[in-house]
A and B are shown apart, each in its own frame.
Chain A
Amino acid sequence: MKLKDIAKEEFYRASYGCAGCAAVLMVRLTIKALGKNSVYVVPANCISTVSCYYPQAPFFVPFTVMAFAATAAALSGISAGFRRRGREDIHVVGLSGDGGTADIGIQALSGAIDCGNKFIYICYDNEAYMNTGIQRSGLTPYGAATSTTPSPCFENRPKKDMMRIVAAHDIPYAATACTSYPLDYMEKVVKASQVNGPTYIHILAPCPTGWGFPPDETIEIGRMAVESGMWHLTEFENGEFRTTYTPKRQRPVSEYLATQTRFRHLSPEQIAAIQKEIDAARD
């Protein structure tokens, strides 16, 4: 995919998202990648909060809100319903946040992957419950302060590895992405749409409001996450993981952590420990 191939048409506009919101960018990129022949399920999260209140309608494709824990089950049902009506050509897409995926929605996600219906489940990960005011989720990284893990009692557990969890289901296709790499993400969305079965894409979506950085740095922060090794762009296919993008330069994680107020409290020793984890994962 090339930049010039991206649809000019906007299918999602005029939301109440915060300035610099990567989740809003994720929605725009997703629908541009899939086109009009797609329907969306949005559980409780920032996207539903900033785009679903009647009579507001930023989605120019069919969409429904859904209960927090229920995204994947709804995808499964819609997919089965379309199959019965001979409309398997329609892409059935879930746009769930990190808490809706790794915490309250993980049971339904596991069940739906196991069922095998065709859908694309997108987890946009801003690493905490942002629309309710930055509470920690199962995808909040070690060291981050949130409103339920305030400094100095910051998050003391690592981020759940959702890719390994979905891979353990023998999912036909899964990928990680980041909003700072739109072509990489959109190619993965298109690839997922061509799979006849459940697919999962986990996209890191930096949040200026929750992470504490200026709204014009969203793209740069996402790049730094990848370049520092805090996040990776990968695919899982045919039982194998592979990296889809290796940064040309590797930054020390301290640079990434220093850009965000949520990590401000970390001591040099704690930062060194995070760097050690990253280095160990690289090897």
Chain B
Amino acid sequence: MATEMSVRKYITANEAVAQAARLARVDVVAAYPITPQTSIVEKIAKYIADGEMDADYIKVESEHSALTACMGVRMAGARAFTSTSSQGLEYMHEMLAYAAGGRYPLVLVNVCRSVALPWSIWGDQQDAIQQRDTGWIQIFTETGQEALDMVLQAYRIAEDHRVLLPVMICLDSFIQSHTEELVQVPDQKTVDSFLPRYDPVVTLDVDNPYSISVGGFGKHYARWREEQQTAAEKAGEIILEVGDEFARIFGRHYGGLIEEYRCDGAEAVLVAMGAFTGTAREVVDEMRDEGKNVGLVKVRAFRPFPVEPLRKVISPVKAAAVLDRDCSWGYEGALATDMKAALYGLPNPPAILNFIGGLGGADVPPERMKYMLEKALAADRGTTPHLEFIDR
């Protein structure tokens, strides 16, 4: 049976996620393979085959069906898990919106990868960003440990009756998905104390029949959508609440909706999401050693967007360099746009410099992060220079 003790293991983030699905006592897994997600579902299939995980695996014919099947599992009152990447996430798009609008408390792990064309199996975050408006809570992680911990937390957040929204845990392809790092895999008993069995609000109950997903016209439609927005905003508080409780039990805390790294007295900050923040910490340390007042803001929750925490940390700085591994074509990086909107109304706001980088698996090495921060240090408050592609 499952490992009884909490153990430290050298594993990839993909394996860490598979361990999280096992520990979350998922009833049904429905998934379709795609690089670089495959090793997650392979591991889960192996756990089930070896009797280490008590779950059913639905071998669906597409991602569209994978997410639909997970919704079906939820309708029956059980817990589901799925995972995908890139074209798979794109193929799910219709059902992503369906699941969020229908308030299905699902958990999906997306291993962020470029989308075609040009066709590429390598990493960036365009896939996840393109699902921004489907209504999912989106959380970006930096390490295998954070990915594991956030999958466990995701079930708590999604299933919280004040939220009832699906949660997408994002990790970066290859940098996380295929890189082994030391991960603390918690024991089942402790996880059970943190994550109780699913307590559904409504199911397909033959003794108490409901229409659980229906159509809505006019005012009914608008009212439903307003409640969805209220829940999505409320999710911000619940993410904090769940994160604090997780820290009390497991001793690991990730800072809430954003994590500030050496932002005290910073003149310029780098703002980024995902695994690149690991490199950015080192760059910040080096530049601090050189006497330059720089810091890092890691955005963990992209939806709900952490407006207040960002205003608080960004408003005192002179400039923020925002690194987007995505682009809203014809405008700019999605994170940059949201940052600017979050700072609206501040008198003499910080400069926002948008850098598009790390596309299609391109690395963003320390010297390029330095370059972005140096540019930010030299920028004047209140300016928003044209975006710059840095993968050259």
Contacts and interface: CB of A to CB of B under 8 A. Distances in A.
A87 B204 CA distance: 11
Given A39-B204, A65-B214, A54 B58 contact: no
A64 B211 contact: yes
B215 A73 contact: no
B387 interface: no
Contact of A57 (B72, B204, B211, B217): B211
Given A62-B204, A65-B215, A85 B64 contact: no
A123 B2 CA distance: 43
Interface of A: 36-39, 41, 48, 52-55, 57, 59-67, 69-70, 72-85, 87, 90, 107-108, 110-112, 114-115, 117
29 contacts: A52-B211, A52-B214, A54-B220, A61-B206, A61-B209, A62-B205, A62-B209, A62-B210, A63-B211, A64-B75, A64-B214, A65-B215, A67-B94, A69-B94, A70-B68, A73-B64, A74-B75, A75-B72, A76-B30, A77-B74, A78-B73, A81-B27, A81-B72, A81-B76, A84-B27, A107-B65, A114-B59, A115-B59, A115-B60
Interface residues of B, number: 41
B87 to A, nearest CB: 15
Nearest to A61: B209
Contacts of B65: 70, 72-73, 76, 107-108, 111-112
A84 B60 CA distance: 18
Given A38-B206, A73-B68, A115-B59, A85 B77 contact: yes
Given A69-B64, A85-B77, A111-B61, A80 B69 contact: yes
B58 A117 contact: yes
B129 interface: no
B193 to A, nearest CB: 22
Nearest to B202: A62
Contacts of A59: 209, 211
A69 B61 CA distance: 12
Contact of A81 (B64, B68, B74, B94): B74
Contacts of A65: 213-215
Nearest to B97: A67
Given A63-B211, A64-B213, A108-B64, A77 B204 contact: no
Contacts of B211: 52, 54, 57, 59, 62-64
Q: Which of A48, A73, A75 has the most CB of B within 10 A?
A: A73
